[in-house]
Amino acid sequence: MSKIRMVVIDDDRDVLDSFINQFSHEFAITGIHWGANSTLDALVKFIDEGVAVVVADLKMPGVKGIELLTRLRKDRPEIVRILLTAWAEEGSSIEAINEADIFYLLTKPVLDEEGACKVFREAGERYRDQKTATYFKNRARDEATGFGALIGESPKMKEVIARARRVVDKPATVLILGETGTGKELLARAIHYEGPRRGAGFEAVNCGLLKDELVESELFGHEKGAFTGAVQQKKGKLEVADEGTVFLDEVGEMSPSIQAKLLRVLETGIFERLGGVKKIKVDIRLIAATNRNLEEAIKERIFREDLYHRLAVYPIVMPALRDRREDIKALPEHLLIELNRTQKTSIVSISEDALAALQRYDYPGNVRDLRNSIVDAAVSANSQQIEWDDLPERIRRADQTAEGIPAMGSLYKRKMKECRCKLIAEVLKKHNGNRSKTAEELDITTRYLHSLVKAYGLDKARIPE
C-alpha cells in the first residue's frame, strides 16, 4: 500500500524539518513554511488531489491554524484535519474546533512518536473511508438520476436510452410521450444530469395536478399582491432553473392562455412574473411530457399547433411495460434491493410461480403499478422469498385465468411449497450439502438454489455443507 500523503504547515522551519525527519519513514510528508505574505487561497490551490491529512500549527503570522483548517474543510472536505499546538494549556474554543471538524489535537514537540503514528494511520483510514463514501454517494446519485435509473435490457428500452443519449448535449427541446407510470420524469432527469446543464437546477411542474392560476405561478412566479394569498414575491420554476432544465409533465393539460405564454418563452426566453411588469430573461432547456395524443388535441382545438411544433423537436416514446415484458425480471430485482435498503425488508428472491404471474400481468399503471405490487408483496411475505400467494389479489386473479391456467387456491400453493422444500432438502442431503451438484440435479441455477435455501430456512437446517 502506498504511503499516506500528509502536508504539515508551520511558521517555524526547524519544526517542519524535525517533523519530516521524525515521520517520513512511514508517511509521505510535504512541509509548507507559512510566512507573513502567505494566503489561504494560495495554500488551498497548492494542496493537490491525493493529500489525505493536513497538520497545521495553531499560531502563525496573520492566521490561526484553526482558520486555515476551517477553510480547508469548506474547500476540500475529504482531507482529514489535525491541529498542532504548543499551547495546549491555552487551547481553542470548542466551537472553533467543531467548525473546522478537527480530527485530533496534537501537542508539539511530538514526544510520543508511536502514538502520533497511530493517529496519522487512523486519519489515513478515515480519509479512505470518506473517499469511498463519496464515491458510492456519487454513484448512487448517478444511478438515481442518470441513465442508470432506467432499468431494462429489452430492445425497446435500449432504443429509448440510445435515442436519449444522442440529445443530452444538444439544445433541442425534447417531448417524451407515453402512458402514465412509464418513467417519463426519470428519462427527463437522466437527460438533464447526463448533459452539460447538470450543474444547474432541474425543476419539474405537473401541469395536470394544478389549477391554471397555480400552474402560471409555478412557472412564471408572482409579485406580492398578484392574487389572493400572494403575500410575498415568489420566483417561478423558469427563473429558478436558469441555465438548467424545466420539466413540464402532462403538458397537454395546459390551458390555452398558459400555452400562449409558454410559446413566448420558447421563442424569446423572456417572461414576466404574474402581476409584474419587469422583463425576465432566462436560458433554460425545456423537456415536456404527456400521455395525451397532442395531434388529436390540436384537431380538437385544445392544444396549439405552433406550441406542439416547438415542443416536439425531438420526440421520444417511452414504451408501456406490457410491451417490454423481458424487463419484468430485472425491474422486480432492482425494486427489492431498493426496498431492502429503504424499508428495512429482507426479501432475497421471487419464486418462479410469482415471477411468471408478474410477467403475465398487463400493468395498466406501468412501472409505477409494478413497484406498488412489489411493495405490497414484500409486506405480505412470510419468508425471505415472495411467493405467488403474496402477490396482490388483482395479479393473482388475472393469473388464474391467463392462457387457460386453472385457478389454484392457497392450500394448493402451500402444499406445492412444502413439496419443493422437502425435495430440495432431500437432494441437498444426497449430495452432502453440495449446492452445485444439487442445483445441477434439480436443473436450476446455483444462484436460484441459494435464494430458495435461504427463503425456506434450509440454510439453518442440519444439512452438511
Q: Which helix (H) or strand (E) holds 5?
A: strand 5-10
How many other CB atoms are there within 10 angstroms of residue 114's CB atom? 7
3-class state of residue 204 by DSSP: strand
Quick one: pLDDT at residue 451?
67
Note whether 168 and 197 are same-domain residues: yes
Which cell is 420 given? 419443493
pLDDT for 63 equals: 81
404, 450: one domain: yes
Out of 296, 319, 342, a domain closes at: 319
> CATH number of the domain that 413 lies in?
1.10.8.60
Strands (E) across 220-284 are located at 221-222, 234-235, 245-249, 270-271, 280-281
Candidates 260, 317, 307; CA nearest to 286 is 307
Q: Residue 87 has what pLDDT?
A: 58
Q: What is the model's pLDDT at position 403?
A: 46
Check residue 413 and give its pLDDT: 55
Question: What is the per-residue pLDDT for 352?
Answer: 86
User: Does 304 reside within a domain?
Assistant: yes
Strands 285-290 and 245-249: what pairing? parallel
215 and 275 fall within a common domain: yes
223 and 369 together in one domain: no
Q: Is residue 9 within 8 Å of 65, Cβ to Cβ? A: yes
Residue 256 preceded by cis peptide, ω within 30: no
Contacts of 187 (CB under 8 A, 6+ apart): 150, 160, 164, 176, 316, 318
Q: Mean pLDDT for the chain?
A: 84
Which of the 8 DSSP states describes residue 445? Answer: -
DSSP string covering 242-283: TTSEEEEETGGG--HHHHHHHHHHHHHSEE--BT----EE--
Indicate if 125 and 173 belong to the same structural domain: no
141 located within any domain: no
**CATH code, domain with 239:** 3.40.50.300
My answer on whether 343 and 304 are in the same domain is no
Residue 113 and residue 183 in one domain: no
In a domain, 269, yes or no: yes
Indicate if the alpha-carbon torsion angle 179, 183, 185, 191 is positive or negative.
negative
Do both 53 and 160 map to the same domain?
no
Residue 162 CB neighbour total at 10 angstroms:
10
Q: Is 30 within a domain?
A: yes
Same domain, 170 and 298: yes
Residue identified by cell 473517499 is: 131
Tell me how many domains the chain contains: 3
Shared domain for 129 and 18, answered yes or no, is yes
Strands 314-317 and 270-271: unpaired
Instruction: With CA atoms as reference, report the closest residue to 151 among 318, 343, 392, 387.
Output: 318
Judge if 78 and 193 occupy the same domain. no
Looking at residue 465, its pLDDT comes to 43
b/e per residue 39-57 (b: at least 16 CB within 10 A): eeeebeeebeeebbbbbbb
Q: Show the low-confidence residues of the chain (pLDDT under 50).
A: 88-91, 403-409, 462-465
Cell numbers describing residue 168: 443530452
Residue 271 has what pLDDT? 93
Please indicate, yes or no, if residue 198 is contained in any of the structural domains.
yes
Identify the domain containing residue 196 by its residue range.
147-319
Distance CA 237, CA 17 (A): 57
Rounded CA gap, 130 and 198, in Å?
A: 24
- For residue 301, is it left (φ>0), alpha (ψ between -120 and 50) or beta? left
Among 75, 107, 136, identify where a domain stops.
136
90 with 55, same domain? yes
Residue 225's region, left for phi above 0, alpha for psi from -120 to 50, else beta, is left
- DSSP for residue 386: E
From 289, 319, 349, the end of a domain falls on 319
CATH number, domain of 106, equals 3.40.50.2300
- Cβ distance 105 to 12 under 8 Å? no
Q: Please tell me whether the peptide bond between 196 and the residue prior to it is cis, using omega within 30 degrees of 0.
A: no
The predicted structure's pLDDT at residue 2? 64
Cα 10 vs. chain centroid, distance in angstroms? 41
Q: Is 268 within the bounds of a domain?
A: yes
Residue 417 belongs to a domain: yes
Distance CA 315, CA 187 (A): 12
C-alpha cell at 192: 438533464
Does residue 119 belong to any structural domain of this protein? yes
